[in-house]
């Protein structure tokens, strides 16, 4: 079933994959900025809102010795690939893949937001931007799924 092609029902007059892809690019840019800064030994700039430095330098900002932003880049690249592939092919499984992977990301981001608020006691606005973009991607993918004709129903 997941390899079947089903024409996507437009969302806001667009193929939903385009909306997901735009959000994926936003997430990729945010995570990319954080990754480049942190891997080069710097700390991200928060502007007038403080908190990014504290989060970036926290010991919780690394997983297996790698800044968590790098995982955000990887996730966004995979999600963007799924969105673009779904846009071009309308293969139903790519929508489900985007939905499931963004759900994994949302669970992780919920945990990281908990760490920021209750453990590190500082909130990084860049991280929150990424988290909001990921939550939107998950919710949109879910909404699209609920509105989308099932491959079985289309036959």
Helix axis angle, 125-147 relative to 68-89, nearest 10°? 30
- 3-state per-residue secondary structure call for 101-151: HHHHHHHHHHHHHHHHHHHHCCCCHHHHHHHHHHHHHHHHHHHHHHHCCCH
CA-closest candidate to residue 63, choices 101, 102, 100, 108 = 108
Interhelix angle for 125-147 vs 92-114, to 10°? 150
Is residue 101 involved in binding other proteins (CB under 8 A)? yes
Please identify which residue in 11, 74, 77, 100 interacts with other proteins, judged by CB under 8 A.
100
Q: Rank residues 22 and 100 by Cβ distance to other proteins and give the closer one.
A: 100
* Residue 58 interacting with other proteins (CB under 8 A): yes
Q: What is the DSSP string of 33-49?
A: HHHHHHHTT-----TTS
> Counting contacts by CB under 8 A, is residue 136 touching other proteins?
no
Contact flags string 14-53 toward other proteins, x per CB under 8 A? ----------------------------xx---------x
Query: What part of residues 110-129 is at the interface with other proteins (CB under 8 A)?
Result: 111, 120-122
Q: Could you say whether residue 9 binds other proteins (CB under 8 A)?
A: no
**How many residues interact with other proteins (rule CB under 8 A)?**
26
- The contact set with other proteins (CB under 8 A) reads 42-43, 53-54, 56-60, 63, 96-97, 99-101, 103-108, 111, 120-122, 145
């Amino acid at each position: 079933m997941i390899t079947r092609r089903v024409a996507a029902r437009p969302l806001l007059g667009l193929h939903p994959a385009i909306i997901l892809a735009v959000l994926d690019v936003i997430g990729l840019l945010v995570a990319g900025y954080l990754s480049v800064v942190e891997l080069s030994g710097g700390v991200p700039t928060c502007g007038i809102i403080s908190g990014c430095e504290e989060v970036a330098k926290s010991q919780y900002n690394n997983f297996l010795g790698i800044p968590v932003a790098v995982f955000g880049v990887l996730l966004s690249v995979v999600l963007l690939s799924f969105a673009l592939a779904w846009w071009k092919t309308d293969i139903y499984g790519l929508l489900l893949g985007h939905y499931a992977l963004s759900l994994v990301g949302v669970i992780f981001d919920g945990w990281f937001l908990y760490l920021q608020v209750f453990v590190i006691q500082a909130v990084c606005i860049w991280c929150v931007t990424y988290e909001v973009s990921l939550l939107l991607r998950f919710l949109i993918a879910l909404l699209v799924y609920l509105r989308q004709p099932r491959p079985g129903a289309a036959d």
